[in-house]
Each structure stands twice: as C-alpha cells, then as structure tokens.
Amino acid sequence: MALIETTNLVVNLTPRPIEPSWIIEGNPVAQCCVLSRSDDGLATTMVWECSEGKFNWYYDFDETILILEGAIVLESDILGPTRYGPGDVVFFRDGAHARWHVEGRVRKLAFCRTAQPFALGFALRVFKKVKRMTTPSGKRTAPSLAASA
C-alpha cells in the first residue's frame, strides 16, 4: 500500500440514500465517493453531495466537513439555524444530531473517524512512541527540502 496517495475532487459519485425516516421536507438525493480509507478502517475521507431538502442526521462517528459548493442551514437542540457555505468547516461529534436544510445543492469534503476505546488508543500511542524512540534517527527524519533543490 502506498504511503502517499493522491486524488482529485472531480470524481464519480454513487448513490448514498438518506434514511427515509430522517427526511423532513422535499426529496433530497445524496451521493458520495470515498477518496481514502485508513488501514484500520476507522477513518475515511469522502466527497458528498446532496440536492435540496430538509432532513435529520444522526452521527455515529466524528465528522469534520468542509463546504466546497452550495449552502446549508444547520440547526440542533443547542444551535439555532445557522447558514454555512463554501470554505466553512463544521465538526460533528459522535452522538450529535443536526437538522440539515440544503439550499439548492451542497457539495462537501468529509473527514469521518470512528473513535477507538480509550485504552486501545492509549496503547497504540505508547507503541508508536516506543517505535519512534527505537528507530535509528537517520531512518525517521525527512530529508531537507533545501538539500534537494
């Protein structure tokens, strides 16, 4: 598996229907394309697009979104209606609920992550730190960009 992968946001999207019981108004049609997935399957990056409509969304993972095109109005029990457009970033924690109102069409870049149990995450951080400490420094430092110019 390559350590560095590249892609483009011009991708073929596949249907990703919204749970019908979540739809409040309209007929929103959602599509997405997964751009990358971590080796452990706990993190993905995707492009997601949706047509106009209002719907609930219930999060069972952490998600950070960057609005690329279009606009949405988000509302929750603790957040009044707030409009977001291109360049805006929103973070939803696992367990969050939001009411989405897509105005026309929206396209977003989404970074989704399923949290590990604390003990497992802690053990992994310790393992990685020990690995860094025991790896010869010449094997883990990046070459200087100035030296290659």
Q: Check: pTM over 0.85? Answer yes or no.
A: no
Residue type, 119: A
Strands (E), the chain: 14-15, 23-26, 30-37, 43-58, 62-75, 82-84, 89-92, 97-113
CATH topology of domain 14-113: Jelly Rolls (2.60.120)
Cα 32 to Cα 16, 43, 62, 86: the distances in Å are: 6, 15, 17, 18
Q: Which of 56-60, 63-67, 133-137 has the lowest mean pLDDT?
A: 133-137
Q: Which of 6-10, 23-27, 126-130, 138-142 has the lowest mean pLDDT?
A: 138-142
Q: What is residue 132's three-state secondary structure?
A: helix
Judged against a pLDDT cut of 60, whether residue 148 lies above it is answered with: no
The DSSP output letter for 41 is: S
